Structure 1
Amino acid sequence: MDFLKLLRSLEEFLYELCTWFLFFPRTVYRVVMHPQRMARYVDTELTQPLDQQFDDAISPPMFLMLAVLLAHGVELLMHQQVTGIGMLSRTVFGNEESLLLYRSITFAVWPLICSVHLLRRRKLPITRASLRAPFFMQCYLTAPFAVALSTSMVFVRLPGTLSTRIGIAVSVLALLWYAGAQAHWLKARLQRPWPNVILSTLWVLLLGIVINSLIGIALLAN
């Protein structure tokens, strides 16, 4: 019986893995081309029974983790793995599982910050239930940014002026897209004037950069 259970588990895992090859690029296209529509899609899906949620896409947190995994795959393909300097950084960067977890958390900082900011501006209680919908929406918006930014850093580290310029251009385009998607998302949910929304967007982006920079400095210092 245990062997049959193991086979069924493997069957489900294999099926889920194969569906990722279909739904991941499809979800990327939908998020990049229609970010606000996908944000509303999250609202609709979270009202469905748990086993029916995100049936025609990849769930947002998994989508973000797969985006980080894809970016890591590009890094490995280009032989541009990050190496640590101190003991702590070597522990994190020297282990594939730890590195992927670290990068997933660092990119998840932006969805968390933006979700908390939204709830505070709307004067809503910050609970697990209230955070769920905005956090899921933000995971969708952050995933393409994570892939583009991580891939651009790979090109920046490659020798040669052309690759560096390509990396910088991709990172700038990714940041502009992400800032625009965030601004429209906050505008739709806060219903505030554009100057107010732009300030909120800049605050969220800068706070995320500061937090991730501090984490990076702490890793390099140990």
Structure 2
Amino acid sequence: MDFMNLLKSVEALLYELVSWLVFYPITLWRCIRRPLAMFDYAQRELTGPPENQFADALSPPIFLFLSIALAHMIDIGLTPNQDTPIGLLADTRNLLVFRATAFSLLPMILAVQAVRQKNQPLTRATLRPAFYGHCFLAAPFVLSVDLALTTGHLATEATYWVGTLIFLAGLIWYQTTLTGWFVTHRGVGRVRAFARAALHILLGTIAMFLLILLAVAPQVIAAWKEIP
């Protein structure tokens, strides 16, 4: 009986993994093409039974994580000889989890703001809908940033410009998407929405930078202590 249960678990896991190959590009295309509709889709899906949620797309956190994992694998494949991070981040699995956590700060900051602006208590239940929705909005931008960094690691003039174009395209898309979100869901004017979107991207960048500093600080301090 235990062996049959194990087989059923393997069957379910294999199906889930293979289904990602189908639904990841579908979800990515839908997010790029109609990001605000995907935000609303995430809100609606969370109101249904858990077993029926996101039946025709990936769950937003999984979608965001797979976007980061895909960019990470492309980075390793194209630039295998780049410098290895130090300390805790030297392990590939730790580095992937760290990148996922860092980039998840973008949707999390907006989710916390959304809960506060609705005067709701900050709980897992109230935070989840906004976080899930913003994972859909952040994933294409995160993918563009990672791909731009990977292209830059190739260290040629042509790839530098390609990386810059990829980053600018992702940044413009995310800025435009967030501006539309603030207009639609917060009812503010377009100029104010543009400013708030830019501020959010700036705050998210600062938060990620601080997280990186916290991750590498112990190793940097240890290295300084070893200097005679």
Task: State TM-score, norm by structure 1.
Answer: 0.93
Q: CA deviation at 1:90?
A: 2.8
Residue of structure 1 in register with 2:155 after alignment: 159
Q: CA deviation at 1:51?
A: 0.3
Within 5 Å, which residues of 2 pair with 1:110-129?
Answer: 110-129=106-125
1:6 aligns with 2:6: yes
**In structure 2, how many angstroms separate the alpha carbons of the residues matched to 1:59 and 1:46?**
10
Residue of structure 1 in register with 2:203 after alignment: 207
1:22 aligns with 2:22: yes
Q: CA deviation at 1:73?
A: 1.0
1:83 aligns with 2:93: no
Residue of structure 2 in register with 1:43 after alignment: 43
Rg comparison, structure with higher value: 2
Matched-pair identity in % = 32
1:144 aligns with 2:140: yes
Moved more, 176-185 or 7-16: 176-185
Q: 1:72 to 1:50 in 2, by over 3 A?
A: same
Pick one of 177, 188, 191 that aligns with 2:187: 191
Give the unaligned 5+ runs of structure 1. none
**In structure 2, how many angstroms separate the alpha carbons of the residues matched to 1:60 and 1:147?**
14
The one-letter code sitting in structure 1 at the alignment partner of 2:182 is L
Residue of structure 2 in register with 1:180 after alignment: 176
Is the Cα–Cα contact under 8 Å of residues 79 and 154 in structure 2 kept in the other structure? no
Q: Secondary structure at the match of 1:55?
A: coil
Q: CA deviation at 1:44?
A: 1.6
1:99 aligns with 2:95: yes
Is the Cα–Cα contact under 8 Å of residues 110 and 134 in structure 2 kept in the other structure? yes
Residue of structure 1 in register with 2:63 after alignment: 63
User: CA offsets, 1:79-136, max 9 Å, x none?
Assistant: 245522xxxx3321x2121111101101100001011122333433322222111100
1:132 aligns with 2:128: yes
Q: 1:117 to 1:82 in 2, by over 3 A?
A: farther
Q: Secondary structure at the match of 2:121?
A: coil
The one-letter code sitting in structure 2 at the alignment partner of 1:96 is T
Q: What is the CA RMSD across the aligned residues, in angstroms? A: 1.4
Aligned length: 217
The one-letter code sitting in structure 2 at the alignment partner of 1:83 is T
Q: CA deviation at 1:211?
A: 1.0
Q: 1:72 to 1:59 in 2, by over 3 A?
A: same
Moved more, 1-10 or 23-32: 1-10
The one-letter code sitting in structure 1 at the alignment partner of 2:92 is E
Moved more, 112-121 or 141-150: 112-121
Is the Cα–Cα contact under 8 Å of residues 122 and 190 in structure 1 kept in the other structure? no
User: CA offsets, 1:132-182, max 9 Å, x none?
Assistant: 111000111111111111011011121210001111110111111111111
